[in-house]
């Protein structure tokens, strides 16, 4: 496994990591969860991602039980939670100081941990001043309940504003952002965030690297039963796989699979390795419903070096969606 710094911080995270979204607390039991986390650790994974909203908190509860039962050394691992959607109460959502502080406390109880390494603002809160959010996350860090704080799906402008406020007040700015990034979703990560990597040293923990399964190739022949898109509550995802854009992308996946075959890897491994070719990716969060999937996903690290400039160009020709570079006026 390769380990990368989380942006300009000194924290090392595994290039491939493992997240609890969808499966933990909903699709799988505790035994399967432990098998998947053990498979990830055996492959060198040290970062495990979670959020208060995943399965209504059950994902954190399950991960906490697994970690306590397994007896893994806590200091060897990096855990996260994300705060925004904590419940139905009027103050159980958003990024107010009240919800951030109480949300972190509740998450720690579910995880059975004294602290998380990373805590994210799961979305921007247009109804709370960013200064309040910055101060609240700094309070959490000062209390020893988290080491770093960051954002998820914030705009470049919002991240810059948070940094400016933190610097002005002598506080800790966001260290990392958790954005969606994959072969079919590139503009924000590659173009809009581009100035933030050098200017701010922004780290990234990217999610949905397989486009919710589209980049595995399993949707090439239709909608298979038992997949995420067929689950109750994921009708939005099912619609995403049947519109005109999705059908065009599925056709591209068919062509990309030829490149995967030439390299001797699966389509999923190719898509994961492709994200890691971007040096601004600190870690790529993977998901799975079986330990065998974890093992296969982690093999993607072996194919990163096989994505030569010629292979990357062949991929670009198929994708035909590279964001425009900033205009050089000289």
Active site residues per annotation: 54
Chain mean position to CA 126: 22
Residue whose structure tokens are 């699709």: 27
Q: Rounded distance, CA 83 to CA 13, Å?
A: 21
Q: Residue 114 in contact with residue 81, Cβ under 8 Å?
A: no
In DSSP notation, 48-92 reads: EE--TTGGGGHHHHHHHHHHHHHT--GGG-EEEEEESB--SSTTS
- Looking at the chain, how many residues does it have? 330
Q: Residue 286 in contact with residue 294, Cβ under 8 Å?
A: yes
Q: Rounded distance, CA 81 to CA 149, Å?
A: 10
In DSSP notation, 162-175 reads: HHHHHHHHT-PPP-
Q: Residue 285: in which H helix or E strand, if any?
A: strand 283-286
Q: Residue 17 in contact with residue 285, Cβ under 8 Å?
A: yes
Q: Rounded distance, CA 293 to CA 285, Å?
A: 13
What are residue 260's phi and psi, to 5 degrees? -60, -45
Q: Rounded distance, CA 81 to CA 60, Å?
A: 8
Q: Residue 12: in which H helix or E strand, if any?
A: strand 12-14
């Amino acid at each position: 496994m390769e380990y990368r710094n989380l942006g300009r911080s000194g924290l090392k995270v595994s290039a491939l990591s493992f997240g609890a979204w969808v499966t933990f607390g909903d699709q799988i039991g505790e035994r399967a969860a432990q098998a998947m986390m053990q498979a990830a650790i055996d492959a060198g994974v040290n970062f495990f991602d979670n959020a208060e909203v995943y399965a209504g908190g059950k994902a954190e509860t399950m991960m906490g039980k697994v970690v306590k039962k397994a007896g893994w050394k806590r200091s060897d691992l990096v855990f996260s939670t994300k705060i925004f959607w904590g419940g139905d109460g009027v103050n159980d959502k958003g990024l107010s100081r009240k919800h951030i502080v109480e949300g972190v406390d509740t998450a720690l109880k579910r995880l059975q941990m004294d602290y998380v390494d990373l805590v994210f603002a799961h979305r921007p809160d247009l109804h709370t001043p960013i200064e309040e959010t910055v101060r609240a996350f700094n309070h959490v860090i000062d209390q020893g309940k988290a080491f770093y704080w960051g954002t998820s799906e914030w705009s470049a402008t919002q991240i810059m504003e948070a940094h400016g406020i933190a610097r002005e007040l002598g506080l800790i700015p966001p260290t990392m952002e958790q954005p969606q990034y994959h072969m079919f979703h590139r503009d924000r990560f590659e173009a809009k965030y581009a100035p933030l990597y050098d200017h701010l040293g922004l780290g990234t923990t990217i999610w949905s690297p397989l486009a919710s399964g589209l980049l595995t190739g399993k949707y090439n022949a239709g909608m298979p039963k038992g997949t995420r898109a067929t689950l109750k509550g994921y009708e939005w995802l099912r619609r995403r796989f049947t519109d005109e854009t999705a059908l065009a992308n599925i056709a591209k996946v068919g062509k990309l699979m030829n490149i995967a075959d030439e390299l001797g890897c699966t389509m999923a491994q190719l898509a994961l390795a492709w994200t890691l070719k971007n040096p601004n990716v600190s870690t790529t969060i993977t998901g799975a419903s079986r330990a065998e999937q974890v093992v296969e996903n982690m093999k993607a690290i072996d194919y990163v070096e096989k994505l030569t400039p010629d292979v990357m160009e062949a991929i670009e020709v198929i994708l035909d969606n590279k964001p425009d570079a900033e205009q050089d006026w000289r």
